[in-house]
Amino acid sequence: MKNTNLIPELFNVGGQPYEVRKVERCENNSVGISSYFGGYVEIADKFNKDVKQSEGAKVNTYFHELTHVILDNMGEKELSENERFVCSFAGFLTEAMTTADYPEEVFNKMLLELKKSPTIPSA
């Protein structure tokens, strides 16, 4: 996993801003939760008693919750509630994003351009 710093502080989906919160624990001892109406994603440091989530697992959790947010914004409630689909899709997305190989100068230029975009909040 070469790209592990992929969890933003803020992002927009469907014109709605979302805050990413890194918390010690999520409700129900989940590894992560998202709130379509609350405009946030939470990623737990610990779950299931005191098991610590690895950084790679946190990246996967972020993409998992992002998938829920996107599907909820699309009005795809049934797909969003299908954890097998969300887990599988998020796993493939995590793999693609964490193994992507960009020349460093191209990646840095892309990030700067994205931050200049008026639709993406800057951190």
Q: Residue 33 CB: number of other CB atoms within 10 A?
A: 19
The pLDDT value recorded for residue 115 is 75
76 versus 106: the higher-pLDDT residue is: 76
Of 18-22, 45-49, 74-78, 82-86, where does mean pLDDT reach its minimum?
A: 45-49
Q: Is the pLDDT of residue 9 over 60?
A: yes
Domain-embedded: residue 108: yes
The mean of the pLDDT values for the chain is 88
CATH of the domain at 80: 3.30.2010
- pLDDT tens readout for residues 69-83: 999 999 999 999 999
Query: What is the average pLDDT across 92-108?
Result: 84
Domain-embedded: residue 92: yes
The pLDDT value recorded for residue 31 is 95
- Give the number of domains in the chain: 1
C-alpha distances in angstroms, 108 versus 51, 99, 111, 114? 34, 16, 5, 10
22 closest CA partner among 51, 50, 49, 59:
59
Residue ranges of the alpha helices (H) in 4-103? 55-73, 77-80, 83-99
The pLDDT value recorded for residue 29 is 83
The pLDDT value recorded for residue 106 is 76
H and E: helices and strands count for the chain: 4, 6
The percent of residues in the chain predicted with pLDDT above 90, rounded, is: 67
Query: What is the average pLDDT across 31-49?
Result: 93
Query: What is the average pLDDT across 97-109?
Result: 80
Domain-embedded: residue 123: no
Q: Which two tokens stand for residue 54?
A: 């690895």
Range of the domain at 15: 10-116
